[in-house]
Amino acid sequence: MNASASSVGKSSRGPLAVGALELSGRAFLAPMSGLTDVGMRRIAMQFGASLVVSEMVASDAFVRGEAESRVRAEGEGVTPHVVQIAGRDPSWMAEAARLAEFAGANVIDINMGCPAKRVIGGFAGSALMRDLDIATQIIRATVAAVAIPVTLKMRLGWDHSCLNAPELARRAEAEGIALLTVHGRTRAQFYKGEANWRAIRDVTEAVTIPVVANGDCIEPADAAAMLAASGADAVMIGRGAVGRPWFVGQIAHYLATGKLGKLPSSSQRRDAALMHYRALLSLFGREQGLRHARKHLAAYAEWAARDGAQNATPLRLPLVTSDRPIEVERLLSRVFDDERVREAA
């Protein structure tokens, strides 16, 4: 699908808001488990993302004070700070929302879209789209628990025989949800096939609150096409931002001006990647941080190679296998070195 930035659904309206919170633009970083740590979110915001969302936090684990859930909900240096919570019990969800608000969250996002087996096995995430009565109870309890805006992320439905996103959207709006995000796949599709942006329009036409389209935004033309097809107010970028968190800001600029935001210099990207790596070591400690960083390091190298860094491909393997932080930083810097030479020439 192709569309110009002048035909991007509802994006021609004034500034987008989540409740009373006015946003800077219309491109968001998606919540991704194991990926959207606070380091990645800081970088995305630094380069112009309009909104970023934490990794999914299990509500019961968060209330019990489990360390991993607290790390996932970390938001230092991120404003506005959005914490996504997941669960099936309305009381746990309400208490988790209260704790997140007390800890400084500006927005609570409810997860009803995660397709992972470990999540739906507990009847949470996208499994809630099979029981809209429980889903509605969770929304009602969470909204009532906090004074800050509450948003909701969902899929089109459980499978193609149950495309009930419009009905859930109507219920959510009636219960006070401030904004909806719809991933253009069913749970049965997981991440396979293509996201159906046109099907999201059934949700945008069912409610008056802002709707965000999610799924398969890899290039600028995708963002414009998503909005044109869905009639949504904004786009949410997930896997397309891994290894290039600045891409979200580039898309925000594109949707606002019709021109893609400039690719940050190789020095800026190098410094951002190093900052992200150091943040992971600080968050998780040396051993766990090294393991957690590898998927990000591989993605930084892959995108650097696509952007013309000739060192990136041969350095990828040593970069992700080294267990020495100083060596990793040296290799990560070298990934961008040859680009810097060309830029200076």
Both tokens of 183, joined, read: 């991933």
Contact criterion met (CB below 8 Å) for 190 and 158: no
Both tokens of 85, joined, read: 């919570």
- Give the number of other Cβ atoms within 10 Å of residue 146's Cβ: 18
Q: Which residue is catalytic, options 16, 29, 112, 114?
A: 114
Q: Is 114 a catalytic residue?
A: yes
245/45 Cα distance (integer angstroms) = 9
309/337 Cα distance (integer angstroms) = 8
| Helix or strand (DSSP H, E) at 113 | none
C-alpha separations of 191 from 50, 156, 214, 238 in Å: 24, 13, 12, 11
End-to-end CA distance of the chain: 38
By annotation, the residues acting in catalysis are 114
